[in-house]
């Protein structure tokens, strides 16, 4: 909080303030004692203190004291990589300013810093132009101004005492009064300081020392406060600049909500023809993997029903969507665990094990429309080249499109029953948080090796989820207890992908607005022309 130097200065300032009062207390106490009033005075003081403490405690209990909100400026979690990269530039600039590497001593310094911020963010989005800050449409800029003004109003309304009562005229009067009295006060105080020296040199010296120490402590605190404020303004402004230059800003919230509702309705209709006007919360999970990896069986197992067609032959030759509902409240007989919303499960045709990229296209197209991806890898198939290359293709696509967020990926290891010893099926098997040296059954050992191989072959990070399952109709295992909780854990991320996807789709259709503008402009021109020639 405070640096060592500041602590010492504050301590000295406090002592210098307290010394006169302490002296008064001692002398006063002695005088009271001499007159025999000490105990009477002491009892009255104790009574008043107890009363005030009791009242303060009661008030504190009745109304929770509002904690001071620290100045927060975190990068929104639902931003795609391109926006996150812009945000790190904002952070870097804020750090440079607070560390003193960029001077912020005067208003001109501060203005130069903000201009640099605008240029850097604009350049991030439009590197091809030197004057990239011009690359933003006017309505977007106006919308940002609208948002900033709204925020400013809330700050003034909530934090400036009397803001709702004082008029502009009152503020002007206050300012004028301040301008008038401030020099007068300074003059009188200065005369007092000079005049009091011959009268009482010791107390004048004491006052000067006290003023100096307190001033030093205050200066340091003001410096820290200033650094914090500068950092806050850079972050806040950086946030709005990113919103502005990325084109993320939504001009018409109502229209966007309607367009999004219709899109969600269409998505739900792919799984169920009858959908309500206001679609419920849901996410779209795309299931991909090699031929016969057990994708359709996983959908069946997830839904707890056996509706998706499964076969020993390749049978899913086109994309098919299914709806999975969460457990209805209070339905204790339903074995399906509760999720925050519905799932639209998208079954895709498998790609072949050659991994030459020829048949990745249908799965890749679906992944681009996914909120979450389940990559099914069978324990029966040793070759994972195709899965690795498919994942590479997905990662590359999202790297090349940094304004999209890559959906969270869960790798599902299927056909666990086929692991050695093959004839043994005695679940549950330990697979998570297995400690080194822990005694495992042969099946559990094979399971560990399989999960490690999956991580290695697919180049997964240590935190990426890999869940083993069995989706054989008679040996279903680890769906409710392993897979569904993992889906729930990634729900927020999936929702962010979904929001970003809808926002992107909406922004990609500027023709709707253009058509409205042309219609309005033509209408008013015709009306004006008719009026001119006297027809209307």
Ligand X SMILES: Nc1nc2c(ncn2[C@@H]2O[C@H](COP(=O)(O)OP(=O)(O)OP(=O)(O)O)[C@@H](O)[C@H]2O)c(=O)[nH]1
Task: Please report the sign of the dihedral spanned by the C-alpha atoms of residue 34, residue 35, residue 40, residue 45.
Answer: negative
Among 109, 135, 389, 418, binds ligand X (CB under 6 A): 418
- Rounded to a whole number of angstroms, the distance between the first and last alpha carbons of the chain is 73
- Report the nearest approach of Mg ion to the CB of residue 76 (Å): 37
| Contact partner at residue 415 from Mg ion, ligand X, none, CB < 5 to 8 Å by partner kind | ligand X
Scanning residues 382 to 401, which ones bind Mg ion (CB under 5 A)?
A: none
Among 6, 98, 363, 471, binds ligand X (CB under 6 A): 471
Q: Under a CB-based contact definition with an 8 Å cutoff, are residues 297 and 310 in contact? A: yes
Cα gap 364→75, rounded to integer Å:
29
Q: Which stretch binds ligand X (CB under 6 A): 239-247, 287-295, 390-398, 437-445?
A: 287-295
Among 123, 363, 381, 414, binds ligand X (CB under 6 A): 414
Q: Which is nearer to ligand X, 124 or 292 (CB)?
A: 292
Q: What angle do CA 70, 71, 72 make, to 5 degrees?
A: 100
* Nearest by Cα to 125 from 235, 240, 247: 247
Q: Which is nearer to Mg ion, 143 or 472 (CB)?
A: 472
Please report whether residue 297 would count as binding ligand X according to CB under 6 A: yes
Please report whether residue 415 would count as binding ligand X according to CB under 6 A: yes
- Report the nearest approach of ligand X to the CB of residue 485 (Å): 19
Q: Which is nearer to ligand X, 19 or 361 (CB)?
A: 361
Please report whether residue 316 would count as binding Mg ion according to CB under 5 A: yes
- Report the nearest approach of Mg ion to the CB of residue 271 (Å): 16
| Contact partner at residue 326 from Mg ion, ligand X, none, CB < 5 to 8 Å by partner kind | none
Q: Under a CB-based contact definition with an 8 Å cutoff, are residues 460 and 394 in contact? A: no
- Report the nearest approach of ligand X to the CB of residue 395 (Å): 22
Q: Which stretch binds Mg ion (CB under 5 A): 27-35, 87-95, 292-300, 420-428?
A: 292-300
* Nearest by Cα to 454 from 471, 470, 436, 467: 467
| List of residues 6+ apart from 84 with CB closer than 8 A | 75
Residues recorded for the chain: 536
Q: Is the peptide bond before 520 cis (omega within 30 degrees of 0)?
A: no
* Nearest by Cα to 230 from 92, 75, 104: 104
Q: Which stretch binds Mg ion (CB under 5 A): 153-161, 236-244, 310-318, 457-465?
A: 310-318
- Report the nearest approach of ligand X to the CB of residue 427 (Å): 12
- Report the nearest approach of ligand X to the CB of residue 296 (Å): 3
Please report whether residue 353 would count as binding ligand X according to CB under 6 A: no
Q: Under a CB-based contact definition with an 8 Å cutoff, are residues 284 and 369 in contact? A: yes
Contact string (CB under 6 A) for ligand X, positions 301-340, x = contact: ---------xxx-xxx------------------------
Please report whether residue 350 would count as binding ligand X according to CB under 6 A: yes
Cα gap 448→436, rounded to integer Å:
11
Site size toward ligand X (CB under 6 A) is 23
Among 235, 248, 284, 292, binds ligand X (CB under 6 A): 292
* Nearest by Cα to 248 from 526, 506, 535, 522: 506
**91-99 contacts at long range (C-beta below 8 A, 24 or more positions apart):** 91/235, 93/117, 93/120, 93/234, 93/238, 94/230, 94/231, 94/234, 94/235, 94/238, 97/227, 97/230, 97/231, 97/234, 98/227, 98/228, 98/230, 98/231
- Report the nearest approach of ligand X to the CB of residue 283 (Å): 21
- Phi and psi at residue 182, in whole multiples of 5°? -60, -50
Contact string (CB under 6 A) for ligand X, positions 473-512, x = contact: x---------------------------------------
Please report whether residue 383 would count as binding ligand X according to CB under 6 A: no
Among 296, 363, 381, 500, binds ligand X (CB under 6 A): 296
Task: Please report the sign of the dihedral spanned by the C-alpha atoms of residue 291, residue 294, residue 298, residue 300.
Answer: positive
Q: Which is nearer to ligand X, 310 or 445 (CB)?
A: 310
Please report whether residue 246 would count as binding Mg ion according to CB under 5 A: no
Token pair belonging to 386? 């195709």
Among 6, 123, 136, 296, binds Mg ion (CB under 5 A): 296
Among 384, 417, 484, 498, binds ligand X (CB under 6 A): 417
Q: Which stretch binds ligand X (CB under 6 A): 212-220, 252-260, 468-476, 517-525?
A: 468-476
* Nearest by Cα to 349 from 309, 380, 385, 381: 309
- Report the nearest approach of ligand X to the CB of residue 379 (Å): 8
Among 291, 302, 324, 447, binds ligand X (CB under 6 A): 291
How many CB atoms lie under 10 A from the CB of residue 161? Answer: 7
Please report whether residue 471 would count as binding Mg ion according to CB under 5 A: no
- Phi and psi at residue 58, in whole multiples of 5°? -65, -45
- Phi and psi at residue 80, in whole multiples of 5°? -75, 170
| List of residues 6+ apart from 369 with CB closer than 8 A | 284, 286, 501
Please report whether residue 387 would count as binding ligand X according to CB under 6 A: no
Q: Give contact residues for ligand X (rule: CB under 6 A).
A: 289, 291-297, 310-312, 314-316, 350, 414-415, 417-418, 470-473
Q: Give contact residues for Mg ion (rule: CB under 5 A).
A: 295-296, 316
């Amino acid at each position: 909080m405070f640096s060592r130097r500041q602590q010492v200065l504050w301590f000295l300032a406090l002592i210098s303030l307290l010394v006169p009062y302490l002296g008064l207390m001692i002398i006063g106490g002695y005088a009271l004692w001499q007159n025999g009033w000490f105990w009477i005075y002491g009892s009255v003081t104790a009574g008043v203190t107890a009363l005030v403490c009791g009242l303060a405690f009661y008030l504190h209990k009745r109304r929770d004291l509002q904690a001071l909100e620290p100045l927060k400026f975190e990068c929104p979690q639902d931003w795609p990589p391109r926006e996150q990269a812009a945000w790190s530039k904002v952070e870097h600039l804020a750090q440079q300013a607070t560390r003193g590497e960029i001077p912020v001593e005067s208003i001109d310094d501060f203005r130069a810093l903000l201009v640099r911020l605008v240029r850097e963010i604009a350049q991030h989005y439009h590197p091809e132009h030197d004057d990239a800050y011009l690359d933003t449409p006017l309505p977007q800029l106006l919308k940002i101004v609208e948002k900033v003004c709204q925020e400013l109003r809330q700050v003034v309304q909530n934090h400036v005492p009397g803001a709702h009562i004082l008029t502009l005229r009152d503020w002007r009067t206050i300012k004028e009064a301040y301008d008038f009295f401030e020099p007068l006060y300074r003059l009188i105080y200065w005369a007092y300081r000079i005049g009091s020296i011959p009268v009482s040199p010791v107390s004048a010296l004491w006052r000067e020392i006290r003023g100096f120490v307190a001033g030093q402590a205050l200066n340091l605190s003001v410096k820290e406060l200033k650094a914090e404020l500068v950092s806050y303004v850079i972050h806040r402004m950086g946030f709005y600049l990113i919103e502005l230059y990325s084109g993320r800003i939504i001009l018409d919230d109502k229209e966007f909500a309607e367009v999004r509702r219709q899109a969600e309705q269409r998505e739900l209709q792919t799984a169920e023809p009858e959908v309500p006007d206001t679609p419920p919360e849901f996410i779209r999970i795309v299931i991909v993997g090699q031929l016969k990896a057990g994708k359709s069986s996983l959908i069946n197992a997830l839904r707890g029903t056996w509706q998706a067609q499964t076969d020993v032959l390749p049978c899913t030759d086109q994309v098919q969507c299914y709806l999975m509902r969460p457990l209805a409240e209070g339905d204790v007989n339903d074995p399906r665990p509760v999720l925050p919303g519905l799932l639209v499960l998208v079954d895709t045709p498998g790609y072949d094990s050659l991994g030459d990229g020829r048949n990745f296209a249908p799965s890749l197209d679906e992944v681009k429309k996914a909120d979450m991806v389940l990559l099914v890898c069978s324990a029966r198939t040793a070759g994972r080249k195709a899965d690795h290359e498919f994942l590479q293709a997905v990662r590359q696509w999202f790297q090349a499109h940094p304004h999209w967020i890559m959906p969270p990926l869960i790798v599902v290891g299927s056909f666990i029953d086929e692991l050695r010893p093959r004839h043994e099926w005695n679940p549950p098997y330990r697979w998570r948080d297995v400690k080194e040296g822990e005694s495992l059954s042969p099946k559990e050992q094979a399971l560990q090796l399989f999960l490690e191989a999956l991580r290695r072959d697919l180049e997964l990070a240590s935190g990426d989820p890999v869940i083993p399952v069995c989706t054989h109709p008679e040996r279903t295992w680890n769906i409710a207890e392993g897979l569904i909780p993992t889906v729930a854990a990634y729900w927020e991320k999936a929702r962010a992908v979904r929001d970003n996807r809808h926002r992107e789709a909406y922004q990609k259709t500027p023709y709707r607005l253009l058509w409205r503008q042309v219609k309005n402009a033509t209408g008013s021109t015709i009306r004006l022309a008719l009026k001119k020639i006297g027809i209307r």
